[in-house]
Amino acid sequence: RCGHCQATRGPSYSQLQTSDVEWFKRCLGESNVVTDVERLKSFNRDWMKKYQGHSQLLLRPKTTQHVSEVLAYCNERSLPIVPQGGNTGLVGGGVPVFDEIILSTQGMTRILSFEESSGALVAEAGCVLQALDDHVTGHGYIMPLDLGAKGSCCIGGNVSTNAGGLRLLRYGSLHGSVLGLEVVMADGTILDLLKTLRKDNTGYDLKQLFIGAEGTLGVITAVAIQCAPRPASVQSVFLACPSFEAVTKVLGTAKTMLAEILSAAEFLDQHCMRVVEEQLEGVSNPLTDSGTCTAASAAVAAAPGSEGTNKGPACTDSNTTTGCSTSSFASTFDPDNAASSSSSASLQLPPRFYMVIETHGSHEAHDVEKLDAFLEAVMSEGHVLDGCVATSKAQSDSMWHIREVIAEACGRAGSVYKYDVSLPVQVMYQLVEAVQQRLASQLPHRQDILTLGYGHVGDGNLHLNVSVPSGYSQEVQEVLEPFIYEWIQGHSGSISAEHGIGLMKAGALTYSKSLKAIQVMSSIKSMLDPKGIINPYKVVYKQQA
């Protein structure tokens, strides 16, 4: 019985035989068939070390034809498989529940084509996202998605989870940027939907079924995706805010004043900043570590095109309305030396929230002028206590690094319960506070538990993380669930914004989808995978019963 979802191993599934392994070796070549228990360990365990499978076999097909032959064989033999890319998924979707065969796409890493004129890329599913971004950057394009896991996650896994990430606000969802897919179905049929046309309105848009299906409807073997022109001007700022309400105000102002050049709006709370600084060597708050980035005032005043910026008096108090302009941005917020920074009362306390905001545009002077006006507005309204503008790629990267390593830092601090959810922005942080209060009241002796919030605030996507130093426990799990799912349902949110359902939320789909909708999903699953051999127990499994 599975400890997470109480499922039992499907009665109709066969046990793996030696003759099966021999067949796979003849089909794929001995080196692409792994049975060694030690080598299988990392493939049987998810990135968070929360889900543990017991697969005895890893297959690494090199071609679509191989995948087709393997699936036809497994379907015939009723041998369940789990497709796996970079194994960075966070809901247990990419690892076996019991002894399912792991079908890894890591052997399928060819870039099949790139059209300079249109920016359409066609690549095999096992290509790592970072490698693709590097490839298209050389042609003056960027991938339309960016995740903290870009160094390991694969484009097939990205599509299969309908990954969101740091660029969704500007470049949209994969449901829009994926142009075509090649998918191998449960019976081995190769479904060639691999078009690079921007528009192809011919019947049902089948590729959409597989985007976000988390490997339960077929194995994606190749992806055609629309890349975006590499922006000539990238501006990044790191801001400190006194409250989450201020964060929402800054977001609103960014959307109106930065408008078409706004490409990312992320937030993190003070607990994130602390755990990153505590757990990761050499990562520090750019607003207290003056070496990280140039103070907004110096940068904005010096940046080209800001000549027109009102130089204004040195802003000694961000709450006054003395005509402070952006160029008088408080230099750096230094809690140890509050006297040297702006003297306003709100600066006496460490900021409770931080934001990373980025613009992608085609004309630096134009972009800096808009950014300058935006910073002036949010400063003069008191929604920003302090901040800095990156004046080099290295500074921009270091700002993003803080945001991207929060997950890793939380993982180092303890075992993490992750809740990737969509909520109306105005209530978003109330969920973090509600969970903090609930843990304090239900488990008052557990002061060691760290509850924090961060995420893609521009998309209404919160990442609530509860890090438990002593490890996963039923005691903590029962305080968190179903409380969190009920809270989300009561606030018209979604229990999964971008990570998917996987195994973790297979029993919670009803908090965000009607039974009727789930029944339709189950009938699609039964039609496309009648023997249920592709990634069983995941996504709609619970509702099948």
| Binder among 463, 505, 513, 525 for ligand S2G (CB under 6 A) | 463
Shortest reach from residue 190's CB to ligand FAD, in Å: 13
Report the residue number, 118 or 130, with the smaller CB distance to ligand FAD. Answer: 130
Binding interface with ligand FAD (CB under 6 A): 47, 82-90, 93-94, 105, 125, 147-149, 153-154, 156-158, 160-161, 163-165, 214-215, 219-220, 407, 498-499, 502, 535
Q: Where are the alpha helices (DSSP H) in 123-280?
A: 129-137, 155-160, 168-171, 174-177, 207-210, 244-257, 270-279
- Give yes or no for residue 542 binding ligand S2G (CB under 6 A): no
Tell me how far apart the alpha carbons of residues 390 and 396 are, in angstroms, rounded to a whole number.
Answer: 5
Residues of the chain by 3-state class (helix, strand, coil), percent to 5: 35, 20, 45
Strands 219-226 and 178-184, how do they pair?
antiparallel
- Give yes or no for residue 372 binding ligand S2G (CB under 6 A): no
Query: For residue 78, what are the contacts with CB-CB under 8 A and spacing of at least 6?
Result: 12, 13, 14, 531, 533
Shortest reach from residue 216's CB to ligand FAD, in Å: 7
Report the residue number, 90 or 272, with the smaller CB distance to ligand FAD. Answer: 90
Report the residue number, 271 or 418, with the smaller CB distance to ligand S2G. Answer: 418
Q: Please choose which of ligand FAD, ligand S2G, none residue 53 contacts, taking the beta carbon within 5 to 8 angstroms, the exact cut-off set by kind.
A: none
Structure token digits, residue 463: 């990442």
Q: Please choose which of ligand S2G, ligand FAD, none residue 119 contacts, taking the beta carbon within 5 to 8 angstroms, the exact cut-off set by kind.
A: none
Shortest reach from residue 276's CB to ligand S2G, in Å: 12
Structure token digits, residue 335: 């809690």
Report the residue number, 107 or 335, with the smaller CB distance to ligand FAD. Answer: 107
Structure token digits, residue 505: 């939320």
Q: Please choose which of ligand FAD, ligand S2G, none residue 128 contacts, taking the beta carbon within 5 to 8 angstroms, the exact cut-off set by kind.
A: none
Report the residue number, 351 or 493, with the smaller CB distance to ligand FAD. Answer: 493
- For the beta sheet containing 120-124, the strands, ordered from the edge strand earlier in sequence to the opposite edge, are 111-115, 120-124, 219-226, 178-184, 190-193
Restricted to residues 78-137, the positions that interact with ligand S2G (CB under 6 A) are 90
Q: How far apart are the first and last CA of the chain?
A: 15
Q: Which helix (H) or strand (E) holds 479?
A: helix 474-480
Tell me the residue nearest to ligand S2G as measured from the CB.
Answer: 407
| Binder among 92, 148, 351, 361 for ligand S2G (CB under 6 A) | 148
Q: Using CB under 6 A, count the residues that bind ligand S2G.
A: 8
Q: Left, alpha or beta for 286 (phi > 0: left; psi -120 to 50: alpha)? A: alpha
Shortest reach from residue 149's CB to ligand FAD, in Å: 3
Report the residue number, 61 or 148, with the smaller CB distance to ligand S2G. Answer: 148
CB-count burial class (<10 Å; 0-12, 13-18, 19+) for 270: middle
- Length of the chain, please? 545
Q: Please choose which of ligand S2G, ligand FAD, none residue 418 contacts, taking the beta carbon within 5 to 8 angstroms, the exact cut-off set by kind.
A: ligand S2G
Report the residue number, 147 or 300, with the smaller CB distance to ligand S2G. Answer: 147
Query: Largest Cα–Cα distance of the chain, in whole Å?
Result: 81
Q: Left, alpha or beta for 259 (phi > 0: left; psi -120 to 50: alpha)? A: left
Report the residue number, 296 or 466, with the smaller CB distance to ligand S2G. Answer: 466
Which residue in the block uniquely carries the two structure tokens 């084509």?
113
- Give yes or no for residue 407 binding ligand S2G (CB under 6 A): yes
- Give yes or no for residue 418 binding ligand S2G (CB under 6 A): yes
Structure token digits, residue 399: 């700002």
The residues of the shown chain that bind ligand S2G, judged by CB under 6 A, are 90, 148, 407, 418, 420, 455, 463, 465
